[in-house]
Structure 1
């Protein structure tokens, strides 16, 4: 499939690295005009320049997504530049560790701010534009397989991501008659930039940790950024048909499966 997003304006939060950057690249290859947002100006400008080299109109808008006003300003900047927003991807995420017993209020609030509140208000601003124009649109929220329960050291992360899964369904139900399709992706263990940093610095993993980890998994590898990005683009595009309100497990372990 080619040109799945030709003529579409796509805003990608967390588009400066990892999966967000991968989604931005995949969207650009499919003909989209792309706006990236996140905190890292240097990385954001590099990715935007790379996308422009692919022939798309791409721009980076700096925003600290933990600040609601800055998150909303990314949508405002998209509207000012392009006059509309057709697709939104909430790919930004915070994965710092914390258990039920040692999570501080400050850490909990950080996870809620980035992993739940930012997607909520980015969706609010994007949907408001779509409704005002009477135009269809699509949104994909990158959630996590951990929204089903997760590991004990991810308590605040799980709380926020589980909230995002519920929000995805709620917003999809609320705006289905506006022809706004909203879906989520519960991403499993994947070979992202952030996961590499976590494994090397938190778990003292070696340079070949991905190969070692993949050998212990059913498909022989971790989830790959380009594969996930292509699937997100499919969900953003008309080729995914009428699907809305779906939260899809992108993983090779089956929730509820035993033995």
Structure 2
């Protein structure tokens, strides 16, 4: 019987969108700990991006890009390869979570959420897949989705719809890329303690101690943290998950479809 494969990213170049804070930063740091040969992170804040890249403890680079801009997004993989070499693994962790119901969501907000949450992962997945196929290399992609992709709350209409599109894209591309040994999996993330969530809570007018109030009401006494998700993402990128593709993993304290 052969030995169990290690959860390792040794020798691999990993591209993480939204890697300057929150879930993306946690995954980038975990990838560095797992021995990645290079890590490229993207984000809109150049100062924060450079700061995070300089502390990853691996060969790293930061690319400033607004994923709502299709042209800028289309350049990311080429820029990452110029700095670090061929990208072996992609994590689509960036996302917008702006609120809005079916009656009050502006078309402009709908378009922006779909651009960042669905179109950008499509563009990046396409670019990485084309390069891996041209080079004859295997690869792995992880999409950070959300439990709201099942339908979501009424105040998350555009967000839930855009992430539902990403969930379908995950399965579609997993099926389409199997023969090329490129694996695609997704994480349906539950309520998480991130800088982005803190900003949304403040924008919604909630008190600064919202987290202290929310945590005790959760089944396990706290919200999900970036470190919780990072280990799963690295596992899915590694050879330990070599036989796994097209999976949408519910990463939440609540069980979808269970009541009472």
TM-score, length-normalised on structure 1? Answer: 0.95
- 2:181 maps to which residue? 179
Residue 41 in structure 1 maps to residue 46 in structure 2: yes
- 2:22 maps to which residue? 18
Q: 2:43, 2:66 within 8 Å by CA — same for their partners in 1?
A: yes
- 1:228 maps to which residue? 229
- 2:88 maps to which residue? 86
Q: Distance in 2 between matches of 1:113 and 1:175?
A: 23
Q: Per-residue deviation at 1:81?
A: 2.2
- Aligned to 1:122, what secondary structure does the other structure show? helix
Q: Distance in 2 between matches of 1:20 and 1:2?
A: 22
Q: 1:143, 1:165 within 8 Å by CA — same for their partners in 2?
A: yes
Moved over 4 A (4+): none
Q: 2:98, 2:200 within 8 Å by CA — same for their partners in 1?
A: no
Q: Distance in 1 between matches of 2:77 and 2:19?
A: 14
Cα RMSD of the aligned pairs, angstroms, is 1.3
- Aligned to 1:50, what secondary structure does the other structure show? coil
Q: Per-residue deviation at 1:193?
A: 1.1
Q: Distance in 2 between matches of 1:253 and 1:20?
A: 22
| Change in 2 beyond 3 A, CA 1:73/1:136 | same
Q: Distance in 1 between matches of 2:207 and 2:224?
A: 18
Q: Which moved more, 1:169-178 or 1:96-105?
A: 96-105
Q: 1:45, 1:60 within 8 Å by CA — same for their partners in 2?
A: yes
Q: Which moved more, 1:77-86 or 1:122-131?
A: 77-86
Q: 2:174, 2:183 within 8 Å by CA — same for their partners in 1?
A: yes
Match of 1:114 among 113, 116, 119: 116
Q: Which runs of 5+ in 2 are unaligned?
A: none
Q: Distance in 1 between matches of 2:107 and 2:46?
A: 29
Map 1:150-161; keep pairs closer than 5 Å. 150-161=152-163
- Number of paired residues? 255
Q: Distance in 2 between matches of 1:256 and 1:229?
A: 26
- 2:31 maps to which residue? 27
Residue 206 in structure 1 maps to residue 225 in structure 2: no
- 1:125 maps to which residue? 127
Q: Per-residue deviation at 1:105?
A: 1.1
- 2:70 maps to which residue? 68
Q: Per-residue deviation at 1:201?
A: 3.2
- 1:135 maps to which residue? 137
Q: Per-residue deviation at 1:73?
A: 1.0
Q: 2:54, 2:60 within 8 Å by CA — same for their partners in 1?
A: yes
| Change in 2 beyond 3 A, CA 1:178/1:185 | same
Q: Per-residue deviation at 1:245?
A: 0.2
TM-score, length-normalised on structure 2? Answer: 0.95
Q: Distance in 1 between matches of 2:76 and 2:136?
A: 21
